[in-house]
Every structure is written in C-alpha cells, then in structure tokens.
Structure 1
Amino acid sequence: MKLSSVVRWGLGASLLVVGAGACSSSRQQVLEQETRPADSLAAYYPLAVGNRWTYRVNGRADRTVDVQVLKEEDGYFHDNQGGQLSVDGFGVRDRKRYLLRGPLTEGNQWTNVVSVSSTERYQILQAGVPCEAPAGSFQNCVRVEARNRVDAQTTLVNALTFAEGVGLVRIEVSAEKSNGERLPQTWLELASFKLQESGR
C-alpha cells in the first residue's frame, strides 16, 4: 500500500463524520461523554449525513483537511474525500477493512486482507483512556495500531485514535524499518467537528 493511499485511507475512511448536534464547548462534550454509557462500537464513529470533521495536517493550523458525510447509499456513508464507512455488528469498516472491531479491549487483534498482496494487522493498544486534540479533551478513547508490510525492509504503521461520541481524533502514519526504527510520515489531528443529532 502506497503512503498516499494510506493517507487517503486515513483521511477518507477514518475521517468520515463525527457527532451529535452542533459544535459545543469541549467541556460540555466531555461532560456528555462521561454520563453516556459506551454500549456500542457505533459511538466511536458516529455516522450521519452532514457530519463534519476538520483535521490539522502535521500540526499546522494553515493546512487542514475537511471531511463531510455527503450521503448514505447501500448501507455506507460516503464522504467528500472518497471514503465509505459503515458500522455493523462487528465494528466500524470501509469496503475493504475493519478500522475498529470489538470487543474494545486492550490487546484485541484482527486481520484484514485488502488485496492479494496486502494484509493489514490491527491491534487495540489502549481502551477507555483519555485523549486530546486541538478540538478538545475526550475521556473514553480507543487507540488502534494498523500494520502493513510494504516490502522486506519497511512496514507502514498507522496509529488511529477514536473518541466515544466524536469519532477519529488522531491519525499518525509512520514507516518502520526492519531494525525497528520508526520514521514519522504524517499525522492528522482533529481541530473541530460538527455532528448531526441523528449520528449513529
């Protein structure tokens, strides 16, 4: 998988849409999250037409990516970046892979065969932990690592952080060399979001 396709995957598929209502203060969002039980994987990627997330690229406020859900078709929510996401009984997925899969417990692993020559391995590194982004502080987050071997010397590593009731708040892409050295490639962090009341 090329880096550009990974970034697009990260932007399109993972940045689909987040939410419930209009933008509100971070403090109010945190309070709402603390009082709502985490009973569903759908809560970690609320999907509804009109949901919007804005991400900073590499920490730069002047370089952003906007992701907005435009329509729902055949059970998938389509965004303006070419992403298509759905939530089913197993987790949050695009047409080729599960980005987040239950149970939401540290150590949970799954594999996605996305093509004849590409297998992605996922693992939940942390669950139920706080996380932060320019958009705010969130209490119930899940951090997932996805690994895809590019060649004998390089593995592409994507770290995805999902916040309950918000969606994807951070994506970090790095290239890991065979000696274990990690070379950061790019990262995205949630700067703002607006969710519709019907987000699911």
Structure 2
Amino acid sequence: MRRSGVSVGAGVGVGVCVLLAGCSPGHDSTSYFPLAPGARWTYSVQTDADGAASRQQQTISVLDERRYDGKPLFIRRSETPGNIGIEYWLRAQPDGIVRIAQRMDLEEFAALDPAPRTVLKLPLAVGASWRAPTVPYTVMRKNEYPREVKYGRGMPMTYTVEALDEKLTVPAGSFAHCARVVGRAEMTLFTDPVRGFNKVPVTTTEWYCRGVGLVKLERLEKLATPFYSGGSVLMELVEYRMP
C-alpha cells in the first residue's frame, strides 16, 4: 500500500513565533520542550532485552522552522548510530506540542499522522492527562519471527503529569524545576497455555526540565513467560546545546 506523503522544501524559512517562548525568538529558559532551531541533545540509552544489555547514544536535534498548510512547524531529528534516522514534524500550539508527520531517511516524503499526536500537553499541571499510541520496545517472541513484537502491534498509552518542580541528576548534570510525566498502557498477549491471554503492563516515566527539555526516560516492560521476554530502557541526558 502506498503511503500518502507530503514534502516541504528545505529552503522555505520563516520567522515564526515559538508559542512556548512567549513570542520571543531563540531559546526560552522556561520551556519544558524547547524547539529553537540549533538545539541539540545527546542521550545515553541502555536497553535490557532478551536477557542481554546494550548501550548506545542517541542524538536529537531541531533542524529548522518551516511552514506547512499555512502554519509553522519544526523539524526534529532523532539519530542512533547504525539505525535509520527519523525526522518528526512538530507544532507548538497553545494546548501543547503535537506531532503531525514523520519521515525516515529511506523515505522521500514525510507521512502525515492520521490525526495530530500529542507529545506534551501544555501548560503543565499536576493531574493533566492525554493519550497517544505507542509500541513495545523490548518485548520479544522466544520462538517466532520476527522476534520483535513492536511490528504491527500498537497500543494506546495514557500519560499523566504526576509531579512538577522535581530535582534529578544525570550525566549532563543536576537539574531542578522538572516535571515528571508517567505513561501507562496494557498489552494483551497469549502468555502461556495455562493462563491464556493476559494484560501486560507497560510504563514510561519521563522527566522534562525547564529550559532543557527531556532529561531522563525510564521504560518498563517486565515480562517472562514461555513465549515472551520483556525488558527495560533507560535514557539519560549526557550533554546538550541550546542556540
């Protein structure tokens, strides 16, 4: 099936007002999700899956500002050595950050999301919640291929702001004024012949710090059955640069 796609010319630059920045250009020291072009974050990502641990670095950067459908958007790129890079089309709206499309390096055009996908609801307030689709990161089949369960299996995750103004320390340093956002989902799997189908909890905890953005992420997919194994992901900020 051919995916519908759209393209934005790289040379189309516009002086837009970043909604989170109170209409001031450049970096905003109060934003929990900076989108200023030139911003760059490097993370250490430790994955425990299938009984083995691995560590790699992931880099996220804001490439530029563009315009699509008469409205501004920001191109945010994620890169991991040895994997395909992905560009995300993000918009800063009064009610939060939303994703409207994505493009992998092997694709000529970006594929529009069926509907805008909330990345972070704003303004942040304890108890605020939203839903967005996700896939399992570390759940593996033991005796079937493809072993990764994430292919073709999506599930809705409910995110809730559980705390504001927390402090935490990661390799990039110590940070204050951080929001803790917890995502919870359930994945239905045939775990074994005795128990049959069961709901497996999936949890993501994210910390967003003012003026920096995402500083830490923990993903838990605990599962050990005759047919499946689970694991965890720990993502911590190593260094960052703001324009």
TM-score interval for Structure 1 and Structure 2 normalised by the shorter chain:
0.5 to 0.7
User: Percent of aligned pairs with the same residue?
Assistant: 26
What's the CA shift string for 1:84-116, capped at 9, x where partnerless?
3322111122234222213422222223368xx
TM-score normalized by the length of structure 1: 0.65
**Aligned with 1:69 (options 21, 41, 62):** 62
Q: Which residue of 2 aligns with 1:98?
A: 118
Post-superposition offset of 1:157? 1.6
**Which whole-Å CA distance do the structure 1 matches of 2:173 and 2:155 have between them?**
35
Q: How has the CA–CA distance of structure 1 residues 104 and 80 changed in structure 2, closer, same or farther, with 3 Å as cutoff?
A: closer
Higher relative contact order at CA 8 Å, sep ≥6: structure 1 or structure 2? 1
Opposite residue 78 of structure 1, the aligned amino acid is I
Please state if 1:162 is matched with 2:208. yes
TM-score normalized by the length of structure 2: 0.55
Correspondences of 1:1-200 after superposition (within 5 Å) = 38=30, 43-58=31-46, 63-73=56-66, 74=68, 75-81=72-78, 82=86, 83-95=88-100, 96-112=116-132, 118-151=155-188, 152-175=198-221, 184-196=231-243
RMSD after superposition:
3.0
Decide which structure has greater helix share.
1
Larger Rg: 2
Q: Retained in 2: the 8 A contact 1:100–1:144?
A: no
- For these two proteins, the number of residue pairs brought into alignment is 153
Q: Retained in 1: the 8 A contact 2:33–2:213?
A: yes
**Which whole-Å CA distance do the structure 1 matches of 2:238 and 2:121 have between them?**
25
Decide which structure has greater strand share.
2
Q: How has the CA–CA distance of structure 1 residues 184 and 106 changed in structure 2, closer, same or farther, with 3 Å as cutoff?
A: farther
Q: Which residue of 2 aligns with 1:180?
A: none
Moved beyond 6 Å, runs of 4+ = none
**Which whole-Å CA distance do the structure 1 matches of 2:169 and 2:64 have between them?**
29
**Which whole-Å CA distance do the structure 2 matches of 1:63 and 1:176 have between them?**
21
Unaligned runs of 5+ in 2: 1-25, 48-52, 79-85, 101-115, 135-153, 189-197, 224-229
SS of 1:107's partner is coil
Q: How has the CA–CA distance of structure 1 residues 154 and 164 changed in structure 2, closer, same or farther, with 3 Å as cutoff?
A: same
SS of 1:97's partner is strand
